Copies of this chain bind each other. A is one copy, B any other.
Amino acid sequence: MKDFETIVPAGDTRPREVCRTCGFVDYQNPKIVAGAVVSHAGKILLCRRAIEPRAGFWTLPAGFLEAHEQPEQGALREVFEEACARVVLEGLIGIYTVTHLSQVQMFFRARFAGDVAFGVGEETLEVNLFAWEDIPWAEIAFPSVTWMLERWKDGVDGMGDLSRFSVRV
């Protein structure tokens, strides 16, 4: 059984969860989610989720960054794991923070590295390229997906102003 207490560790300024048995400090920092808007001839690659939360809804390929990974590498790995696609990143679309989940989501513009080839990964039910007007908006899994798609559609290359940042509390 987990037996943690909330104390301020030596040299720290904030209360942290510390194990009463071993002294392990469970620092809680935000986690990074990395993903991509992969497009081809104006169509966008979406995945239908096989897992909770929001199983059955459509999302952009994305997932938690692993230790020692770059966000760019994480985005490439997630696109491959969830949509079996090899892609090349072209730039950052935006950074979207979900504060209540302590998630910082970074999405990149991407194109196929070679042939337009994709498939259904383990956490995915279905993968498809959608023209903008065919995107199933009512069946999008998360608000950040909609936000990233809109930023992608803006077609602005720059991240030079804070309109490229968003937060969901």
Give the interface of A toward B (CB within 8 A): 1-3, 14, 19, 21-24, 26, 28-32, 64-72, 89-92, 95, 97, 99-100, 102, 104, 106, 156-162, 164-165, 167
Contacts and interface: CB of A to CB of B under 8 A. Distances in A.
Given A71-B104, A102-B67, A160 B91 contact: yes
A28 to B, nearest CB: 4
A159 B164 contact: yes
Number of copies: 2
A18 to B, nearest CB: 12
A68 B31 CA distance: 10
Given A69-B97, A70-B165, A91-B159, 18 more contacts: A1-B22, A14-B66, A24-B24, A24-B26, A28-B67, A29-B66, A30-B66, A32-B104, A65-B104, A71-B95, A71-B165, A72-B162, A90-B162, A91-B161, A92-B165, A157-B161, A158-B158, A158-B160
B69 A30 contact: yes
Contacts of A102: 67-69
A30 B65 contact: yes
Given A64-B29, A161-B91, A164-B92, A99 B70 contact: yes
5 contacts: A21-B22, A89-B162, A91-B161, A156-B160, A158-B160
A92 B29 contact: no
A152 to B, nearest CB: 12
Contact of A23 (B2, B31, B72, B162): B2
Contacts of A3: 22
B100 A68 contact: yes
